[in-house]
Amino acid sequence: MDPDAALQLVKEGATLLLLDVPQSTLIGIDTQMFSSGPNFKGIKMIPPGVHFVYYSSSNREGNAFSPIIGFFIVAGHSEVIVRKWDQNEEKFVKLSEEDEERYGQAVRRLEFDRQLGPYMLNQYGDWRHLSNYITKAIIERLEPIGGEISVSSEPDSISNIPKTTMEKALAEQLKNSKFSRPVEKPERKGCYFTPIPRLIKHKGLSGHDLTNMNLDKTQVLETIIAKEYGGNENSLLGELQFSFIAFLMGQSLEAYLQWKLIASLFLGCTEAPLHTRSQLFTKFVQVIYYQLKFGFQKDDKNADVAEKGAMALLDESWLSDDSFLHILCKDFFSLLLEAPVIDGDLLSWTRKLKDLLEDSLGWDFESNNAADELNFEDDEYAPVVEMIDEPGHSGMDTSSI
């Protein structure tokens, strides 16, 4: 890069200054992951906006790694964000405002410039596709107390949520990874995700209407958008993206389960995509398309880092032929591609998503197979009763989970 252009990017972009980082620590930002060397002190040239930072420290031998810890940041123009490694807690901590300002001035004087790695701008396009609906408000709404996302600090209650055999294997992989060493479980909650019901029960409805509500999740979708997000449909897409990133980069089992719930909610609608929410569903299919497209990428140059980090998760645990995604996508594609009238953009993106899954995974959406006969209520769709609009009840309560 031309030196003058690089200097301009350094001055205009944000900087993440990371002090006292132990050597061989895995450091990630967005879709990029590195192993820190002896002189590493952070990342420069970060485009303003939302980013996800994640890391995993190694033992002295370099053959075992702590569970991934990740956190979202909203970087401003020319902003300097400072974190310092706490040796006792084995994690990054914030500095006082006074110390952060002092280090910020040093960064702007380019005193740390040679010790800062550049943000790979050629990968920023992928990140934008994965995060374009995430806002500061979404992050503040969903992130755990303290902002740190880690499978080691997630509620034990998520282990009781029904999961497929493959997903149970994923849970074991996350909690007992060969790259992880035991850590003491802190007293800390997980993310504050929006409650998404699996099975709806509504007093006063006939059996026929109740069945229709569970077969077509349009009313559930509308209720969540109205009550949880004040009518802002993009916020639900932001939560879908937040969940995917926290799962894939942050190795959060809780986030995976939320991603699955939101995706299942969208894929379970029949009225909304064709009539009332066509534009929302076009955006939803785009979001899922870019998530899966990124997840399918295999970059041999980063294989060693990926094996140790978050990118090792996309295996049979998530994308098996009997997964919920295959089953629901088959019905969703059939609904949209056979509709007599459909929005042109939605049709185009649905075809792209179908082609991606068929080409990348070899999935067959045409013929019937044994997976189509699965009894969801014995598996990931086991009943979780939700009461909507009862007297004295507001929103959807998932305390029974």
The predicted structure's pLDDT at residue 321: 60
pLDDT tens, residue order, the chain (401 aa): 677 777 788 788 899 999 999 988 999 999 998 889 999 999 999 999 999 999 998 777 666 778 889 999 999 999 999 999 998 888 999 999 999 999 999 999 999 999 999 999 999 999 999 999 999 999 999 999 989 998 887 766 565 565 566 566 666 666 655 444 445 555 556 899 999 886 555 554 444 444 444 578 999 999 999 999 999 999 999 999 999 999 989 988 899 999 999 999 999 999 999 999 999 999 999 999 999 998 877 544 444 443 444 444 555 555 666 678 888 899 999 999 999 999 999 999 999 999 999 988 888 887 665 445 444 444 444 333 344 443 333 334 333 32
Where do the DSSP E strands lie in 100-207?
117-118, 199-201
Domain with CATH 1.25.40.550 in the chain: 151-387
Domain with CATH 2.60.34.20 in the chain: 3-121
The predicted structure's pLDDT at residue 308: 41
Comparing CA positions, the residue from 92, 95, 82 lying closest to residue 15 is 82
The predicted structure's pLDDT at residue 7: 78
CATH class of 151-387: mainly alpha
Token pair for residue 212? Answer: 């229709």
Tell me whether residue 130 is exposed, middle or buried, using C-beta atoms within 10 angstroms of its C-beta: 0 to 12, 13 to 18, 19 or more: buried
What per-residue string of b and e applies to 337-375 under the rule 16 or more CB within 10 Å gives b?
eebeebbeebbebbeebbebbeeebebeeeeeeeeeeee
pTM of the predicted protein model: 0.83
Beta bridge partners of 28: 33, 54
CA dist 169 and 20 (Å) reads: 36
The arrangement of secondary structure in 3-121, i.e. its CATH architecture, is: Sandwich (2.60)
Q: Which amino acid is at 338?
A: E
